[in-house]
Structure 1
Amino acid sequence: MAALRIWAIGALFMALLVSAIAVVYFQYRARLIFIEIQQQQNALDQYEIDWGKTQLEITMLLEQNHIESAALNQLKLVMPKHEDIIYLKP
């Protein structure tokens, strides 16, 4: 009877030890996953900032004034005279 009681206490101690190790392991895994989530959220925030900057740049580049000034200054284009314009009818 005493041997059975010692064996039961040993089994309970092993179950307690395994349970404690499992708690530590899963807490460690939860921390690793939380750190990865934080890193992914930071990356997402940076992508959203870059997306906003890109949208702003596209909007600025598509403005008529910017296109016209680039054509005049960088490409040295000039507006043709009214009599030089040829209209084609379909």
Structure 2
Amino acid sequence: MAISRYLGIGALILVLLISALAVIYSKYQSRLIFIEIQKQERALDQYEVEWGQLQLELTTLAELNRVEQVARDQLKLIMPLREKIIYIKP
């Protein structure tokens, strides 16, 4: 009877140790996942800043007067006379 009691206590201690190790492992995994989430959030913030800069640049480059200025200065295009413009109706 005493042997079975010691075996029962030993089994309980073994289960306790296994569960303690499982808790430690689970806490470690959650910390690793949290660190990865933080990295991804920092990357997302950087992408959002870059997206905003690209949107601003696109708006600047697409302005009508900018397009007209580039056409005149770099491509040496000129506006045709009003009499030479042909309008096509759909």
Q: Normalized against structure 2, the TM-score is what?
A: 0.88
Name structure 2 gaps, 5 residues minimum.
none
- After superposition, the CA RMSD in angstroms is 1.6
How many residue pairs get aligned? The number is: 90
CA 1:75 to 1:5, structure 2 compared with 1: closer, same or farther past 3 Å?
same
CA 1:2 to 1:89, structure 2 compared with 1: closer, same or farther past 3 Å?
closer
Q: Percent identity?
A: 59
Query: What are the Cα deviations for residues 43-75 of structure 1, in whole angstroms up to 9, with x where unaligned?
Result: 111111121111111111111111111111111
Per-residue deviation at 1:40? 1.2
1:18 corresponds to: 18
- Asked whether 1:47 is paired with 2:63, we answer no
Q: Normalized against structure 1, the TM-score is what?
A: 0.88
| Counterpart residue identity of residue 36, structure 1 | E
Name structure 1 gaps, 5 residues minimum.
none
1:66 corresponds to: 66
